Amino acid sequence: MAASETKERIAESLASLLNHNTFDKITVREIADEAGVHRKTFYYYFADKYELLAFVYQRFIVETPRREKPVTLTLENWRPETIQLFERIADHAKLFLNAYPYDDGVWRQSTNEFVAARLSILLHAMPEYRYLKEDVIDTSAEFIAAGAIGIINKWANDNFKASPRTVLDQITTANRLFNGILDRWKLS
């Protein structure tokens, strides 16, 4: 079996276990047994179960679906691409709800980096922000991403009752409100 197949099988094993148990209750031994590998094999690919969980988040939730040609995020397609991300989160609700409350910040860190990187691309593409220094844009993207992750976590805590479109609208509205406050603050 190829190395990438083994790594994927270990990830799929954790994802499967998360459908029935919370992350804090799952051991490396259980993951290895579920994958049909030795514990040493697990540790060859992952330092610990938290590193594996970050890989599972990326593989099952954050990554865009495998396509023939990767999609470049633009000002024109960011809304549908973001809704697809939220749909993947909702599609993996059981995995997500059984993992993120027990993951010691793995979800927040890995997803914040992913979201901030994409926001930075969008901010750089906006004509009204082209005069800003790169570090200002990147810091702004990190700030907005942190707020977005907070709204996503609130959505999860509410058992994903709202639609992905509603969650995106909440994030967009919160960002507009914050920008309005800053604009008024600058004027006073």
| Angstrom distance (rounded) from CA 99 to CA 133 | 37
What are 90-131's pLDDT values in tens digits? 998 999 899 989 999 998 888 888 888 888 888 888 888 778
How far apart, in Å, are the Cα atoms of 160 and each of 86, 90, 126, 148?
Answer: 10, 6, 31, 15
| Angstrom distance (rounded) from CA 133 to CA 24 | 42
User: Which residue do the tokens 């907070």 mark?
Assistant: 150
Q: What value does the mean pLDDT take over residues 125-151?
A: 87
User: Which of 28-37, 39-48, 65-74, 146-155 comes out lowest in average pLDDT?
Assistant: 65-74
How far apart, in Å, are the Cα atoms of 44 and each of 26, 52, 60, 110?
Answer: 19, 11, 21, 21
Residue 93 or residue 132, greater confidence: 93
Dihedral sign for Cα 31, 23, 108, 121, please.
Answer: positive
**pLDDT of 79 over the 90 cut:** no
| Angstrom distance (rounded) from CA 51 to CA 135 | 28
The CATH class of the 3-60 domain is mainly alpha
Is there a contact between 137 and 123 (Cβ–Cβ < 8 Å)? yes
- CATH for the 68-187 domain, from 1.10.357.10, 3.40.190.290, 3.40.50.300, 3.30.1360.120: 1.10.357.10
Instruction: Give the count of beta carbons closer than 10 Å to the beta carbon of residue 145.
Output: 22
Q: What pLDDT, on a 0 to 100 scale, did the predictor assign at position 169?
A: 93
Reported as type and span, the H/E element at residue 154 is helix 134-157
Domain ranges within the chain, ordered by starting residue: 3-60, 68-187
**Quick one: pLDDT band at residue 186, thresholds 50, 70, 90?**
low
Topology alike, domains 3-60 and 68-187: no
Residue 152 or residue 74, greater confidence: 152
32: nearest Cα among 12, 3, 55, 61: 12
Dihedral sign for Cα 46, 47, 51, 52, please.
Answer: positive
Q: What pLDDT, on a 0 to 100 scale, did the predictor assign at position 70?
A: 61
Report pTM: 0.82
What are 2-50's pLDDT values in tens digits? 878 999 999 999 999 999 999 999 999 999 999 999 999 999 999 999 9
Number of H helices, E strands in the chain: 9, 0
Q: What pLDDT, on a 0 to 100 scale, did the predictor assign at position 175?
A: 80
